[in-house]
Amino acid sequence: MMRLVLAGKFSNQWGAEHLVLRGFEQLGHAVKPLPLDSMVLAGVTGSPGDIDLIIIMQGYGVHPRAFTRLRDRLGAPMVLWHGEVMSSEWPTADQVVQGKAQQLGRIAPVFDLVLHNCTCCLSTVKKLGAKRVAWCPVNGVDSDRHRRLDVSKKYDVGFYGWPSPRRELWMGALRKVGISVIWPQPQEGVYGEALTGFINECRMTLNVHYSETANTECRMYESLGCGVPVISEPVSMPALFPPGEGVLYCETPLDMAAAVRGLLANNGAEVVHLGARGHAMVHEHYTYRLRCEQLLDIVGKLT
């Protein structure tokens, strides 16, 4: 059993921080969760030897000195587990990515190890000052959260996520060719158990990136975890989601429209088969428990 400090934004039971916490506890480790707050971290007491590992999730909004003092006080290795996409050409990336890179660059140098969600971002994280970097996906599935429900299908095609000009353009292009996409807005409260219900009510979901920089969104895991296939733009980590294993990839809105029509043909039989393949894959290989095992294995080899 390891003694861990896990700091993150524990604002809701469905966030990655809570699911990671559950993963470590399922493995039998003792975890002390802390909110990602400079004042709280400054008040943590302890002595070297009390804690085996400090894990910080994302790390935004905290001064780097707060992290350094926490590590010195507890005398344990400190790892940053980061999931925000960083373009390999970050100086010329879109403004959204540039902003995230600047935030990461302020804190990355103080950590013993930075783990990132995407292999394509590792060189960028290194350029931002990280001492050591490694790949460890921060997204996954939890069988209690991401699951099939015995509900009827209300919608052929669904999407969820924060609005952006790019997403609005894609949805508009789909509407012009006759594809109606049900897109609940964030203020409608489709989150947590309600989100699981919405996904299960869809025959398929779409994955459209917020900005021009490709990502591998948690939406992929969530939808497949519910047995619902995903039609997606190309993602930053295609090896995690091979075509046909619950996912179809499309380069343009017109390609996406054709894929939707193809899946709905023949009474939608392929929708069911595609969703079943994706469901089996993520629940066998991409659980949060396995993600936590992977993290500890990486840390054990590098520290």
What pTM was computed for the model?
Answer: 0.92
pLDDT tens for 11-31 read 888 889 999 999 999 999 999
pLDDT tens for 233-285 read 999 999 999 999 999 999 999 999 999 999 999 778 899 999 999 999 999 99
Residues 244 and 123 in one domain: no
* Residue 146 within a domain: no
DSSP string, 149-200: -S----EEEE--S---HHHHHHHHHHHHTT---B---GGG---THHHHHHHH
Domain containing 74 equals 3-140+287-302
* Residue 239 within a domain: yes
Give Rg (Cα) of the chain.
Answer: 20
pLDDT tens for 58-77 read 999 899 999 999 999 999 99
Higher per-residue confidence, 185 vs 295: 295
Residues 281 and 295 in one domain: no
pLDDT recorded at residue 91: 53
pLDDT at residue 98 tops 60: yes
User: Other CB atoms closer than 10 Å to residue 272's CB: what's the count?
Assistant: 14
Residues 48 and 105 in one domain: yes
Residues 179 and 112 in one domain: no
pLDDT tens for 184-214 read 987 676 888 999 999 999 999 999 999 888 8
* Residue 29 within a domain: yes
Residues 280 and 293 in one domain: no
User: Other CB atoms closer than 10 Å to residue 289's CB: what's the count?
Assistant: 19
* Residue 211 within a domain: yes
Task: Give me the CATH number covering residue 100.
Answer: 3.40.50.2000
Task: Rounding to the nearest 10 degrees, give the CA dihedral for residues 35, 117, 79, 162.
Answer: -20
* Residue 150 within a domain: no
Check if the beta carbon of residue 55 is closer than 8 Å to that of residue 79. Answer: yes
Residues 62 and 188 in one domain: no
Residues 124 and 176 in one domain: no
Give mean pLDDT, residues 109-134: 94
Exposure pattern of 238-264 as b/e (b: 16+ CB <10 Å)? Answer: eebbeeeebbbbbeebeebbbbbeebb
How many domains are there within the chain? 2
Residues 28 and 124 in one domain: yes
Residues 22 and 129 in one domain: yes
Residues 110 and 166 in one domain: no
